[in-house]
Structure 1
Amino acid sequence: MTENIETYILEEAEKLFMKYGTKSITMDDIAKQLGMSKKTIYANFKDKDELVTNLIISMMQKDECNMAELTNKSENAIDEIFLMMDFLKEMLANINPVIFYDLEKYHNKAYKIMMEFHENHIYKNVKICLERGIKENVFRDDINTEILSHARVAQINWTFETDLIRSGKHSLYEVIQELTTHFLFGICTLSGHILINNYTNKNKQTI
């Protein structure tokens, strides 16, 4: 299995899965998108489930790198969260929410990998961000970072599962943004509130 062919298959399959979900996309559809035979795809992945699993692993690895980069370039903990939200807005713009339902129902291994990423990596990132914010005096020093980190992960997981998304009533980003704003104002100091307003106004001016 050559790495270049595997990467190409994953990249093109991702476009289809993110747009239409996994259930409605067949290996024939993927072969047509790739401009290659199904035989070549099966030489790299034994079936669609393995392809989906490998794709989710690849996406989680990319997300981990992107999150680390945003943390390093951020000015403070609140800026970090705003940068994460900008990244999330761009990422979710091309994702059909049905993909998360399909993963849960038809690709259990891939779905567990995604949930484990939330429970471990995102939990760790949130906790470090909260501790950073306390040191920077933008988050209250009386908050329990462990409890709030678990609560934040639970919020994110709920977003992927709620009928608010699956019904099409609200977008993924709209729900996450609302929850994030509520979360932030609940943990911020006065200095933090000022920063939130500054970043919010700055974002409005760039729209």
Structure 2
Amino acid sequence: MTKVSLVLQSILDMDNVEEYILEEAEKLFMKYGTRSITMDDIAKQLGMSKKTIYANFKDKDELVTKLIIKMMQHDECSMEERTIQSENAVQEIFLMMDFLKEMLSNINPVIFYDLEKYHNKAYKIMMDFHQTHIYEHVKICLDRGIKENVFREDINTEILSQARVAQINWIFESDLIRSGKHSLYEVIQELSIHFLFGICTLSGHILINNYTNKVKQTI
């Protein structure tokens, strides 16, 4: 048995075959989108037969759906980490932008078009995640900022949380992204800074400028 076969066998002997398949499929989907990647491509990437893949996933649609669920769970944990790490609500949003920059740097925007057109269940899961988890996260952040006196106390957190979610959904569906004219992070950063300046107090504005300068120094 070759070295490669031994490595593959050790993976197959483990209980996380499904996890391994998802990790390798994710690399292909994020780079090329889902439509152009076949189960044969995934099998080749994994170095295993399609039979093994179909033993874990009914079809490509189920594979994509489980991958999106896995990614949403990871995003939720990452958002919680940034909240804990942040010193204030303004920094929390900047840390979120850092996370998005890292996450989106290896994603081909075509993936979002593919999800909407060819994987309705997975796309709905992503949109539902925005409407629930991201909405709650934004609202908690806004309430925190008001208590810290970095966000204006007269803002309506419910309205602005819904507006922020709608803004995020628009980004993923925008032709600005799908045409390749602008990167996902570029659009998110521009809208996030605009959003912050609209809700911040004078103290918050000072923090925005401080964090913006720090970002520029690292570029």
Bin of the TM-score, shorter chain as denominator length: over 0.9
TM-score, L = length of structure 1: 0.98
> Is it true that 1:122 corresponds to 2:147 in the alignment?
no
Larger radius of gyration: 2
Q: After TM superposition, which residue ranges in structure 1, 4 or more long, deviate above 2 angstroms?
A: none
What is the rounded CA distance, in whole Å, between the counterparts of 2:16 and 2:32 in structure 1?
Answer: 25
1:76-128 CA-to-partner distances (Å, cap 9, x unmatched) read 00010000000100100000000000000000000000000000000000000
CA distance in 2 between counterparts of 1:111 and 1:135 reads 35
**1:184 paired to 2:184:** no
**1:1-45 CA distance string (max 9 Å, x none):** 964100000000000000000000000000000000000000000
- Residue 72 of structure 2 is aligned to residue 50 of structure 1: no
Residue 197 to residue 117, structure 1, CA distance change in 2 (3 Å): same
Matched, 1:33 2:55: no
TM-score, normalised by the number of residues in structure 2 = 0.93
1:7 alignment counterpart: 19
Show the 5 A alignment for 1:59-98: 59-98=71-110
Query: Partners of 1:69 and 1:87 in 2: how far apart?
Result: 10
**SS in structure 2 at match of 1:143:** coil
| Distance in 1 of aligned mates of 2:82 and 2:204 | 19
What residue ranges of structure 2 are gaps of 5+ in the alignment? 1-11
Q: Does 1:146 align with 2:171?
A: no
Q: CA deviation at 1:50?
A: 0.1
Aligned counterpart, 1:106: 118
Deviation at 1:202, TM superposition (A): 1.2
Query: Matches of 1:108 and 1:206 in 2, distance apart?
Result: 39
Classify the secondary structure of the residue corresponding to 1:95: coil
Deviations 1:139-158 (A, max 9, x none): 00000000000000000000
Q: Distance in 2 between matches of 1:52 and 1:186?
A: 37
Provide the aligned C-alpha RMSD in A: 1.0
